[in-house]
Amino acid sequence: MIARVRVSPGVPIAALRVLAEAGLESDVGPLDAAAANALLCLLTDRIDVRFLESARHLRIVANMAVGTDNIDLAAAARLGIAVSNTPDVLTDATADLTFALLLAAARRLVWADRYVRGGGFVGWSPDVGIGLDVTGRTLGIVGSGRIGRAVAERARGFRMEVLFHSRSGGTPLFELLARSDFISLHVPLTSETRQLIGAPELARMKKTAVLVNTARGPIVDEAALVAALRAGQIAAAGLDVFEHEPALAAGLRDLPQVVLAPHVGSATIATRDRMAEVAAANIVAALRGQPIPNRVA
Ligand code: NAP
Ligand code: GLV
């Protein structure tokens, strides 16, 4: 039987090249578990237990993302279906975007752009566009993995003091929240990290603190974040991900101190091509019966 690979619409063509070079037959279309031996899916594809149980010939689900919260990993393991992700190749792009959001929120870049375009700029003034200092301030990184550490590397160029928190060590979360001028989230979305940042955590932050989230939306209680920003409990936020993506919590879009991005952490041409190639390479290995380089379940 020829191995059949079903590829989610939108996956870069680089993946199809890798599959074709390996002699694998692939087609692009809505994910159909019953007919495929392998799936190359996106983080927006929900691969739940029902889907997996209907997949009689499926050997691997290759996610074109490092986060795998869209896939029921326990069900896949129980059914003997491998799951892989695309770590490392997107670390720098995501860390870059994280720093872009941090700087944009601190220095009010979106406000500044609108101000100039709107004709508000009629001459330099000492009190227009005042933002927050970044250089030399304290950055608290929650989740000291690949992306968290890459953000820390960038922070060194800004002579920032960097605090880390993860389960395996570092600064306790509440201490990090209280000491940091900037808090950046880099944990995966799991049952432990869902709403990790809610009203009590926001209340621990400085009034001048900036929260950046390029991890996953549900890690933050978005309604509590809106309330904290409205009340001036924290100063600003930079968000690439949302709790009920693509919907925004009520009131979020009206807050001028929030910089919003449409989940574009890894969105560069080279990075997306590498993610597609890595996902395809995981499929090639699985269907050849070889060790899967980025197996997570
Ligand atoms: P990673 O290398 O696995 O790092 C995750 C870190 O989180 C680890 O240091 C882990 O350390 C820590 N962690 C896990 N559970 C925790 C918990 N309950 N409390 C505190 N720390 C915890 O992952 P990565 O490659 O850096 O990616 C991180 C996440 O970024 C991904 O899962 C994905 O959701 C997100 N992401 C978003 C974009 C985007 O486009 N916005 C792009 C890429 C990735 P311990 O095990 O020691 O706790
Ligand atoms: C993007 O969000 C990823 O997890 O790769």
Q: What is the DSSP string of 146-188?
A: HHHHHHHHHHHTTT-EEEEEETTEES-HHHHHHH-SEEEE-PP
> Given ligand 2 and candidates 41, 43, 242, which is best to mutate, with the most ligand atoms within 8 Å of its CB?
43
Tokens at 117, concatenated: 């375009």
For 74-93, the pLDDT digits (tens) are 999 999 999 999 999 999 99
Nearest CA to ligand 1 atom 40: 265
The pick from 42, 66, 242 for probing ligand 2's pocket by mutation, whose C-beta has the most ligand atoms within 8 angstroms, reads 66
State which ligand 2 atom lies nearest to the alpha carbon of 85.
Answer: 5
Distance, CA 34 to ligand 2 centroid (Å)?
26
State in words which class domain 4-89+269-287 has: alpha beta
pLDDT score recorded for residue 34: 84
User: Is 263 labeled as catalytic in the residue annotation?
Assistant: yes
Question: From the CA of 265, which ligand is nearest?
Answer: 1
pTM of the model: 0.98
Residue pair 271/93 in contact by the 8 Å Cβ criterion: yes
Which residues have any ligand 1 atom within 6 Å of their CB?
66-67, 87, 90, 94, 143-148, 166-168, 186-190, 192-193, 214-216, 240-241, 263, 265-266
pLDDT at 199: 98
Q: What are 197-208's pLDDT values in tens digits?
A: 999 999 999 999
Distance CA 265, CA 52 (A): 28
From the CA of 186, give the closest atom in ligand 1. Answer: 28
The CATH class of the 91-260 domain is alpha beta
Mean pLDDT in the chain? 97
- Nearest-atom number in ligand 2 for the CA of 64 is 5
Nearest to 201 by CA among 226, 182, 228: 228
Give the burial string for 170-196 (b: 16+ CB within 10 Å, else e): bbebeebbebbbbbbbbbbbeeebeeb
| Weakly modelled stretches of the chain, pLDDT under 50 | none
Confidence at residue 58, expressed as pLDDT on a 0 to 100 scale: 97
**Residue 216 bears catalytic tag:** yes
CB of 7 shorter than 6 A to ligand 2: no
Q: In Å, how far are 45, 107, 143, 148, 182 from 151, measured between CA atoms?
A: 28, 18, 11, 5, 12
What is the predicted pLDDT for the residue at 33?
Answer: 80
pLDDT, residue 35, reads 81
Rounded percentage of the chain residues whose pLDDT exceeds 70: 99
In the chain, list all ranges with CATH 3.40.50.720. Answer: 4-89+269-287, 91-260
Task: Report which ligand 1 atom has the smallest distance to the Cα of 240.
Answer: 41
- Helix (H), strand (E) at residue 241: none
Is 65 touching ligand 2 by the criterion CB < 6 Å? Answer: yes
User: Cα separation of 44 and 63, whole Å?
Assistant: 10
Would you call 16 helix, strand, or coil by DSSP?
helix
- Ligand with the closest atom to the CA of 195: 1
